[in-house]
Amino acid sequence: MNKILRFILALAETVVNSARIEGDSIVVGVRPYKSRRRRCPLCGCVCGVHDGRSTPRRWRTLDIGASKCYLEYAPVRVRCPKHGVHVESVPWARPKSRFTRPFEDWVAWMAVYCTMSAVAEACRVEWHSVGGICKRVFDDLQQATGSARFDGVRRIGIDETSYKRGHKYLTVVVDHDRGCLIWAAEGWGKEVLRRFLRDELTREQRLSIEVVTADGCRWIKTLVKRWCPRAEWVMDPFHVVSWMNDALDSVRCEEWQVAKKAARAATPRRKGPGRPAAGDEAPQAAKRLADEAKAIKGSRFALVKGRENLTERQKAKLDQLKSAGSRLFRAWELKEDLRAVYRAKDAAEAEALLDDWLHRAAYCKIPKVVEVEKKVRRRRDDILRSISLNISNARVESINNKIKVTVKMGYGFRNTDNLVALLMLRCSDTKPQLPWKQKTKTVKAA
């Protein structure tokens, strides 16, 4: 029986002593092989025992059927000559974790591919403990690759993203060629970026970087020049389109206010409380104006989305705005045309499209759009250079959206490092492996 349990739970270097049922869980008593006992969790060397008395601990492991399963063992504290007193390491779990390795790998895999509620429901763990699990799994994966994970990176994008309702910032670095996140850290500013450029990259890696994209910040330009002398600095396409999206949202708010006021003015004032009397209802014109105001209010997501991703209902909403001759529709068209600049076949076509766009935007009589037009005009050469270097906005946009969704998922985490770990697991190409796909020491079946 013990051998079967050892095989089911894929326990390497471990002896199963006992098994019992407690409530709705199975508790399996285990101990490490003699050769694996009394080891420091940090360096793995065999150490002297600090104090012999210890209480049994439990580690949650993969479920057996529908029952939760725990491993139970009483670890001792060891005194490492280098690291001091620590609880001994056990072969089935990462240091300081109350979950086993296979269980953590499984939860981290779920967190990467499933929604928050699915993970919590399927794995039966609190969402905030998923953060710690992601951190440990990510640290393990990162240790395995070392600094080689930045090898061959040629074109990077540097960006900030906010969380906790804009109170805190994260710095993210994406690889334009692979379309994935390669580094993230808490904070935004010179110090954080310097940590990446100076401490994380080797000299060869810094020299191999050819293009750096970012928003207009000047200090980024200075830092990039200092640390990556061969890199060319260009404007990040994502920011250009996001200016236009912001302007579009402001125009939508203005239009909605105007439409709401018009609808209210057209509705006759009610004489008293209760339902309107016969002949006292709002006239047709007022109803139409109220509907228009409602359509504008509900058009937010349709406006921000790209033309190719619109649903039928959103298309209908835009058609309604178009037939009403709304300013909002014209602003949306201009946003789409700006995105089209980035899809141009070559630099010449992009230049023609951008110049045409600048001309139309300058005369569109929508103040918010004119503001964006001025910004874009100032950075025209930068924008065209990013197009000639073939940096696709679609890819930058998709990775930025993925980052935003993941940051929202990580709201329940108490620790920012855990959020960064989840972000890296979901958006970089360091992916956790399911326990049964890993090449670990196989456990003999008998």
Q: Is the dihedral of CA 128, 133, 136, 142 positive or negative?
A: negative
3-state secondary structure the chain: CHHHHHHHCCCCCEEEEEEEEECCEEEEEEEECHHHCCECCCCCCECEEEECCCCCEEEEEEEECCEEEEEEECCCEEEECCCEEEECCCCCECCCCCEEHHHHHHHHHHHHHCCHHHHHHHHCCCHHHHHHHHHHHHHHHHHHHHHHHHCCCCEEEEEEEEECCCCEEEEEEEECCCCEEEEEEECCCHHHHHHHHHHHCCHHHHHHCCEEEECCCHHHHHHHHHHCCCCEEEECHHHHHHHHHHHHHHHHHHHHHHHHHHHHHHCCCCCCCCCCCCCCCCCHHHHHHHHHHHHHHCCHHHHHCCHHHCCHHHHHHHHHHHHCCCHHHHHHHHHHHHHHHCCCCCHHHHHHHHHHHHHHHHCCCCHHHHHHHHHHHHCHHHHHHHHHCCCCHHHHHHHHHHHHHHHHHHHHCCCHHHHHHHHHHHHCCCCCCCHHHCCCCCCCCC
Residues 326-385 close enough to bind Zn ion by CB under 5 A: none
Q: Which is nearer to Zn ion, 42 or 144 (CB)?
A: 42
Considering beta carbons, is residue 82 or 365 the nearer one to Zn ion? Answer: 82
Q: Among the candidate windows 33-41, 106-114, 185-193, 351-359, which touches Zn ion by CB under 5 A?
A: 33-41
Nearest approach, Cβ of 97 to Zn ion (angstroms)?
Answer: 18
Pairing of strands 155-163, 168-175: antiparallel
Is residue 82 part of the contact set for Zn ion (CB under 5 A)?
A: yes
Residue of 17, 18, 33, 43 that binds Zn ion (CB under 5 A)? 43
- Residue-wise over 245-258: b if at least 16 C-beta within 10 A, else e? eebbeebbebbbee
Among residues 43 and 277, whose Cβ is nearest to Zn ion? 43
Interacting span for Zn ion (CB under 5 A) from 43-51, 171-179, 242-250, 438-446 = 43-51
Q: How far is the CB of 38 from Zn ion (least distance, A)?
A: 11
> Which residue of 4, 15, 42, 316 would you call a contact of Zn ion, by CB under 5 A?
42
Determine the interface stretch with Zn ion among 19-27, 49-57, 82-90, 357-365 (rule: CB under 5 A). 82-90
- The site that binds Zn ion (CB under 5 A) totals a number of residues, namely 6
* Binding status of residue 80 toward Zn ion by CB under 5 A: yes
Closest approach of Zn ion to the CB of residue 86, in Å: 7
Of residues 83, 178, 300, 402, which one binds Zn ion by CB under 5 A? 83
Q: How far is the CB of 50 from Zn ion (least distance, A)?
A: 12
Closest contact distance (angstroms) between CB of 39 and Zn ion is 9
Q: By CB under 5 A, which span of 80-88, 135-143, 251-259, 419-427 interacts with Zn ion?
A: 80-88
Span of 39-47, 242-250, 313-321, 356-364 interacting with Zn ion by CB under 5 A: 39-47
Q: Which stretch binds Zn ion (CB under 5 A): 32-40, 202-210, 253-261, 392-400?
A: 32-40
In the complex, the smallest distance separating the C-beta of residue 84 from Zn ion, rounded to whole angstroms, is 8
| Residue 46 contacts Zn ion per CB under 5 A | no
Q: Minimum distance from CB of 44 to Zn ion (Å)?
A: 7
Binding of residue 156 to Zn ion (CB under 5 A): no
Q: What are phi and psi of 353, to 5 degrees?
A: -65, -40
In whole angstroms, the minimum distance from the beta carbon of 73 to Zn ion comes to: 20
Q: Is 77 in the site for Zn ion (CB under 5 A)?
A: no
40 is a contact residue toward Zn ion (CB under 5 A) = yes
Stretch that binds Zn ion, among 36-44, 98-106, 237-245, 252-260 (CB under 5 A): 36-44
78 binds Zn ion (CB under 5 A): no
Residues that bind Zn ion (CB under 5 A): 40, 42-43, 80, 82-83
